[in-house]
Structure 1
Amino acid sequence: MSNTGQISATSTLRKENYSVDLWIKLSQLRIGLESWKMQLQKMITSIDEFEQRILCVQSCDQRPEKEDDKNDTWKPTCKRAGQRIKKRLLEIVCDYDEKIRECTMVIDGMTLATHLSWNQIGYQNAQANLRIASDTKNDSSQMKSIALLTMVFLPATFVSSLFSMTFFNWYPQNGQGILSPYVWIYPVVTICITLVVVGIWYIFTKKCRVPSKDESIV
């Protein structure tokens, strides 16, 4: 049974470690994808700025049309290439957004599962506390019954024990008293034994008492 318990505890610990590692890896993957997405967006912004510069150069150029056609054929080519690159970068950004959403969905699912597990554990703990409270209530009722029986029978037991002692002579003869002259021994011995027992109990409970957090801080 002990080996089975150890195996189950080990398997549970491995599952928890696997879940934690998976959550960490997914979080790192999402952060990496978001970083790459930001870099791609910066590249798209740079392409837009480059296109704006080409337009500015075209608008500011005052050369004749023939010479302009011969020397500036690279501008439309660069513009078309920039548009194709921008389109491809936007597609990659969309793919990254999809991957980021998938990572977020998995992480949120793991978070939800963790919350559900903790809620289940809390519910089980609450049920266990209710059972403990119910058992404690039953024990308290039984202790009250025992205390009531003790209070009922203890005076009678004490009186019967007291009157059965030889300190009392209920049938005295000539010159004898009912009460023995050695009756003082009973209260003296009783008080001494009571003090010793109470002192031992007090010392034992004081040594075994665990200090609370507030007392330990002070």
Structure 2
Amino acid sequence: MSNPPPPATALPTLPPQKPFDWFDSHGRVLNPAKGHDYLEISMTPTGVNVKQEPVSDLEVPAFSERLVNTPSDATWRLHVLITLFEGWEWEHPYSNATIDALQKHWHIGRSCFNSASHRAMTATFESPNGDLTRKGLRLGSLRTLRATLALSHSPSTRQTFAIVYSTSTYTMNRIFSALLASKEHAYQPHLLPFIYTAQHLQCLEDFFRGLPAGEYYSIMRTLGADSYHEREERPTPPDLTDMPRTLTALTRMTADVASVKETIGQQIELVTKWAEEFPKLEDGKEDVAMRERLRLMGQYCEQVGLDVREMSETIQAMVQMVYAILQQRDNELNRRYAADMRVITAITLVFLPGTFVATLFSASFWNFDPRSGGKMVSSWVWLYFVSTAVLTLVVLAVWRGFAALKQTMGAVKRFWRVRVLRRKEEGDGDEENATAAAEKEKEGKGD
């Protein structure tokens, strides 16, 4: 068995670009790789043959045309252009000339190279040259596998053309190690998509296991939500300082897992459909094991979805519980503050009469000096009561006036709002009447 293809040579750091310099006239983000690897698996009279050779980006147009036009005695052939590049996952590692050649000679659909293709993780396409006998599919993954596969197959010539590009050496080695280990079955056009989907599902499993289950169950036990019948009689008050942030992070991570699960579910469904369309391609044999594996993969994916949904609903319940506990604590603090205010009010009421009397009789209106033979009450004592009464009335008048002004302003706003709505309705009615009149006038002219 041949060794897996070595990764492409690491690319040097690209020079700084001006904004949007990598966008071509079709809105594609291009970051052409300097080199690619070509892998061919074919069935010749001598058996399964594996060939691999490096190809520069400048050589791809002529190379792809030569592969199509060169006659071969192979019963079936699988052609794969492998690209490992440095850059972002949403960039296309091909030049415009390479893209045009892949569309023309390998019948890779135009949708695989447009700016929105990275958002469609699972899609089918037709030959850009109008060959209705060819079938194509595209599988993508930006979050986990970080690889993209586009493939076209011709049932008449039994040739399959595929491009695979990624920024992860680990991903590429896993995919093509599995492909070379199953090279005898490469006549099936769904073999490479099957391997891609299986590796994507493995990433989902790793992603799901990477969820911080320890924090999840720790919060559940702290809140006493893990088991109602086994909860402590006097549970320790939970520390809610960092729980909202942790639960928010868990919600985000479960949403990511759910999104990846939906993508993989679509890919499994598409690959299963392809396996049903091409059931017998080699001496009438059906690859029952592959379709059984696809069925098990679909069931596992659904189970992950159920687990994620359960965790997500539990997290939402715990979030509500945390906020309910916080609200309960706030209410308890408010009750304590209210009790303290009642105590302060009671103490104030006890000392307020004495304070008033002391303030009143300490004024200069009174003369309690026993050595004084004059009046004990000043003739200006009335000024104290008049001033107090006037100031009290002014404060009450301002308070009542402010409340009345606030009510008046609210009534005025409501009045103008109703008036504007009525005018709008009347205007709409006039337009409808004018339209109806115009239509009647046209009908009258027609008659």
TM-score, reference length from structure 2? 0.29
Change (3 A) 1:181 1:113: same
RMSD between aligned residues: 4.2
Q: How many Å separate the matches in 2 of 1:167 and 1:19?
A: 79
TM-score (normalised: structure 1): 0.54
Match of 1:183 among 361, 365, 381: 381
Residue 93 (1) aligns with residue 291 (2): yes
Q: 1: distance between equivalents of 2:296 and 2:350?
A: 80
Unaligned stretches of 5+ residues in structure 2: 1-244, 407-413, 419-447
Distance 2:308 2:389 in 1: 69
SS at match of 2:381: coil
Q: CA deviation at 1:104?
A: 1.3
Q: What is the aligned counterpart of 1:37 among 260, 264, 272?
A: 272
When residues 16 and 121 of structure 1 are mapped into structure 2, their CA distance, relative to the original with a 3 A threshold, is closer
Q: CA deviation at 1:28?
A: 0.9
State the partner residue of 1:103.
301
- Give the aligned partner of residue 115 of structure 1: 313
2:328 maps to which residue?
Answer: 130
| SS of the residue 2:364 aligns to | coil
Which residue is 2:71 aligned to?
A: none
Contact 2:250 2:315 survives alignment (8 Å)? no
User: Larger C-alpha radius of gyration, 1 or 2?
Assistant: 1
Larger RCO: Structure 1 or Structure 2 (Cα < 8 Å, ≥ 6 residues apart)?
Answer: 1
- Residues 192, 35 of structure 1: CA spacing in aligned structure 2 closer, same or farther, 3 A cutoff? farther
Contact 2:272 2:294 in 1 (8 A): yes
Residue in 2 that maps onto 1:6: none
Q: Which moved more, 1:23-32 or 1:114-123?
A: 114-123
Report the equivalent of 1:5.
none
1:121-177, Cα deviation, whole Å (9 max, x unpaired): 333323322322222222211111111111111112112221222223456746x4x
Match of 2:261 among 16, 26, 44: 26
Residues 258 and 305, structure 2, Cα contact 8 Å, conserved in 1: yes
User: Structure 1: 5+ residue runs without aligned partners?
Assistant: 1-8, 48-79, 208-214
State the percentage of identical aligned residues: 21
* Structure 2 counterpart SS, 1:184: helix
**What is the distance in 2 between the residues matched to 1:195 and 1:115?**
60
After TM superposition, list the pairs within 5 Å mapping 1:1-218 onto structure 2: 19-38=254-273, 40-41=275-276, 81=284, 84-85=285-286, 88=287, 90-170=288-368, 173=373, 176=375, 178-191=376-389, 193-194=391-392, 199=398
